[in-house]
Amino acid sequence: MRQKPGTLNLCGILCLCFVLIGQSVFASPGKGLDLGGGALFSFTSLPQLETGFQAGWNANVGVGFTIFPWDDAENRASDSKTATALSLTGRFQLDSFGLGASAPQSDGNLYRAWQGTGLGLLLGFASPEFIMPLLGLPAKFGIEAGGGLRLTKYSGTGLVSAHPAVLGRMMLDFGILDPFALGLVVPLEWAWKSGGRAIILGIGLSLRVL
C-alpha cells in the first residue's frame, strides 16, 4: 500500500511533538506521555450463557503525571541517579480497541464482535527505579487502577452502545535510551455491557517519554 508523502510528514511532526512535549511538560517521576498497543483477551458472559472468549487489540495514548512527590529532585538520592521513593501516580488515557467475535458454543450462541473508543482516569503507584535482573537495564514497576467510559459499536452493524468500566494497569518500564522507556503493559478491564460483563486482560508494549 502506498502512503502519501503528506501522511509521512504528518507522522514525523507528531512524533517530534510527542518527544518534545513529553520531555518538557511531564518532567516528574511518574510522568510521561506514552503511546502503546497490544493484544486484548475478553472473557465475556451473559447471565444465561456460557462465558465466551474474545480476542482483539487495543491502541492508546496516555498522559502520566506524578501526584507525589512532584519534584523529581526529591525522589533521587543525592549521590546517585536512582530514584528511591515510591511515587503516587496518575494517568489519563484515550483508548481505541476492537474485540473479535467469540467462537460458537455447542448450542450456536456466540458473542458479537465490537469495537470502540474510551477515556480512562487511573491512580496508582510507581516503584523506585531499579536495575532489572538479567537485563541490566534501569526499570520501574507501576500499578494503577481507575475507571473509564466506553462508546462501542457492534462490528458490521449500525448498533452503538455505551458502558462504564473499571480499569487497571500494570507496567514495567525499561529505560532504553534517555528519555525513552519501552514498557511491557498488562491492562485489565471489567466492563458492564448489555446486561453482561466482559473481563478483559491484555498484554502490550508502550513507548514512553520520561
Partner 1 sequence: MKYMDRITGYSRSTGFILAACLGAACLLAACSLPAAITSERRALLIGINDYIFNTVDGFRDLEYPRKDAQTLGALLDSQGWETDDTTLIDTAATKAKIKAVMEDYFKGIPSNATALVYYSGHGTLDESNAYIVPSDYQRITPDRLVSAAELGGWIEEYILPYTKNVMLIIDACNSGGFVAESDSTDLIDPDYDVNLGYSVTTAALSGLSSFSALLAKNMEQAGSLDPIVMSAAGFKEESWESDSLQHGVFTYYLLKAAQNGDANKDGYVSATEAYTYAAKSIDKYWNDLYGNSNAFYPHITGGLRDLVLFDLN
Interacting residues with partner 1 (CB under 8 A): 39, 41, 44, 46-49, 53, 55, 100-113, 115, 117, 132, 134-137, 149, 151, 153-164, 174, 176, 182, 184, 192-196, 203, 205
| Closer Cβ to partner 1, 27 or 166, answer by number | 166
In our burial notation (b when 16+ CB lie closer than 10 A, e otherwise), range 152-184 reads bbbeeeeeeeebebebbbebbbbbeeeebbbbb
User: How near is the Cβ of 173 to partner 1 at its closest, in Å?
Assistant: 11
CB of 158 to partner 1, least distance (A): 4
- Which residue number, 53 or 130, has a Cβ lying nearer to partner 1? 53
Task: Tell me whether residue 99 or residue 126 sits nearer to partner 1 (CB atom).
Answer: 99
Compute the least distance from the CB of residue 69 to partner 1, in Å: 28
Distance of closest approach, residue 178 Cβ to partner 1, in angstroms = 11
Task: For residue 50, give the DSSP letter.
Answer: -
Q: How far apart are CA 195 and CA 172, in angstroms?
A: 34
- The residue behind cell 517521576 is 29
Grid coordinates of 55:
480476542
Instruction: In whole angstroms, give the CA distance from residue 40 to residue 24.
Output: 32
**Nearer residue to partner 1 within complex by CB, 66 or 189:** 189
132 DSSP 8-state letter: P
| Min CB(146)–partner 1 separation in Å | 17
Return the C-alpha cell found at 38: 497490544
> In terms of CB distance, is 23 or 194 closer to partner 1?
194
Strand, coil or helix: 99: strand
